């Protein structure tokens, strides 16, 4: 915590990538927590501190986030098992077809980065995500002819 401003000190994107990689490289800490839910993506928080948080997410075939951002938070994620596809949205337009990320792949991003992550394979996948400061909001977007349109905002403590 920054004593002068009362705000949380953010961890850099590079540091978040290292935090996520370290967590992914220690499956003994999260393997027993992995759950798969056919009705929705499963996720659980592994760590929460003043400066960052770490999440475990699981993905069955076809499950996806939809286009969203992470508000004021920077983030990074690592594919721990399986493969995921990420589509970013630059200048309000989703890229096509996106990039396939295999186990060990790392992605990091700054605040307000809009993307969609999905499991396009038939095999389950597991990913580890780190955010700084810890998430307080997410915005979801719909795709329209004119580009991405903000559909809803989620302001809450996870």
Whether the predicted pLDDT of 156 surpasses 70: no
Q: pTM for this one?
A: 0.88
Q: How confident is the model at residue 146, as a pLDDT?
A: 75
Average pLDDT, the chain: 89
Domain membership of residue 5 (yes or no) is no
Instruction: Using alpha carbons only, give the angle 19, 125, 17 rounded to the nearest 5 degrees.
Output: 15
Query: Within a domain: residue 2?
Result: no
Q: Report the candidate in 91, 136, 92, 141 with the shortest Cα–Cα distance to residue 116.
A: 141
CATH number at residue 126: 2.60.120.10
Domain for residue 6, yes or no? no
Total count of domains within the chain: 1
Residue 23 three-state SS: helix
Domain-embedded: residue 144: yes
Domain span at residue 144 reads 13-155
């Amino acid at each position: 915590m920054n004593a002068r401003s009362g705000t949380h000190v953010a961890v850099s994107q590079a540091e978040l990538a290292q935090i996520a990689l370290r967590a992914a490289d220690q499956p003994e800490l999260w393997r027993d927590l992995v759950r798969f839910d056919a009705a929705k993506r499963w996720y659980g928080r592994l760590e929460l501190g003043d400066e960052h948080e770490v999440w475990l997410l699981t993905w069955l075939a076809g499950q996806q986030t939809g286009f969203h951002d992470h508000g004021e938070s920077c983030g990074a994620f690592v594919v721990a098992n399986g493969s995921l596809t990420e589509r970013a949205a630059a200048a309000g337009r989703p890229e096509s077809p996106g990039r396939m990320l295999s186990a060990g792949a790392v992605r990091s991003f700054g605040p307000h980065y809009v993307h969609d992550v999905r499991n396009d394979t038939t095999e389950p996948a597991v990913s580890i995500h780190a955010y700084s400061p810890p998430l307080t909001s997410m915005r979801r977007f719909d795709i329209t002819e004119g580009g991405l349109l903000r559909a809803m905002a989620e302001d809450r403590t996870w």
